[in-house]
């Protein structure tokens, strides 16, 4: 009888020390071309060459959202062009341009407003506009939301991981040739619950989209600049 009670006590003691009773896990894999790079590595630049580029908001098309409706539902793609521009601007290696016709129309509107006395800023609609050497846009090549579950005596832990892979593309305005930089970013939401209380469905944390997007674009932007350095377009 004493031996039986001892075995029960040992079993209870092992459970109360957070022994893992069961778990569900997903394999992690990241290709070499998308592994993390910091934009700081290419931001210490004091060279004379600055390349004019135009960042386009064309990578996230209706066709893409139709094929992956969850991207639209979770607003993946919102602000991607702006974030990319900010990372590239941080390097001090680029001059940013807009579409020439778009600039012309803006100048005309401001000139008309000035003539009518609406604006005090007089502007002459003449002169040359800097043309982009490269057009830049972003495409998504990977998007997933996975869950990993771990059950212990203390309760259940659910880890929800959002992964976004994005590719920054530079297109030569003269000949259409391209080169790319890719990056994968991930963000995690963790939910813990007592077994006695039960576990509600883990709610998708919208902020993970923004976090994983910024991580992937930082890596992609850093990699594209490093590729330009390797090609001799920029010095170190």
Enumerate domains of the chain plus CATH numbers.
Answer: 26-97+132-230 (3.40.50)
pLDDT score at 117: 53
pLDDT score at 206: 61
Residue 166 forms beta bridges with which residues?
140, 183
The residue written with tokens 């630049």 in the block is 45
3-state secondary structure of 42: helix
Query: pLDDT tens digits for 26-70?
Result: 666 678 888 899 999 999 898 889 999 989 887 777 777 777 777
pLDDT score at 119: 45
pLDDT score at 14: 47
3-state secondary structure of 110: helix
Q: What tokens does 186 get?
A: 């991930």
Query: pLDDT tens digits for 101-114?
Result: 666 666 566 656 65
pTM above 0.75, yes or no: no
Please identify every stretch of the chain with a pLDDT value under 50, giving residue numbers as ranges.
2, 5-12, 14-18, 118-125, 199, 202, 204
pLDDT score at 128: 61
């Amino acid at each position: 009888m004493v031996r039986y009670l001892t075995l029960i006590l040992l079993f209870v003691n092992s459970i109360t020390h957070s022994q893992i009773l069961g778990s569900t896990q997903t394999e992690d894999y990241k290709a070499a071309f998308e592994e993390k790079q910091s934009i700081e590595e290419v931001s210490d630049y004091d060279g004379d060459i600055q390349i004019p580029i135009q960042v386009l908001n064309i990578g996230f098309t209706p066709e893409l959202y139709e094929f992956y409706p969850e991207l639209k539902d979770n607003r993946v793609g919102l602000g991607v062009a702006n974030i990319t521009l900010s990372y590239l601007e941080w390097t001090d290696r680029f001059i940013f341009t807009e579409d020439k016709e778009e600039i012309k129309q803006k100048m005309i509107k401001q000139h008309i407003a000035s003539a009518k006395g609406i604006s005090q800023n007089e502007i002459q609609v003449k002169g040359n506009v800097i043309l982009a050497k490269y057009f830049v846009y972003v495409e998504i090549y990977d998007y997933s939301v996975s869950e990993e579950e771990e059950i212990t005596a203390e309760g259940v832990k659910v880890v929800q991981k959002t992964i976004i892979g994005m590719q920054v593309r530079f297109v030569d305005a003269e000949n259409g040739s391209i080169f790319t930089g890719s990056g994968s970013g991930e963000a995690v939401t963790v939910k813990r619950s007592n077994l006695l209380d039960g576990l509600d469905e883990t709610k998708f944390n919208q902020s993970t989209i923004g976090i994983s997007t910024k991580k992937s674009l930082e890596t992609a932007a850093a990699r594209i600049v490093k590729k330009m350095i390797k090609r001799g377009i920029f010095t170190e």
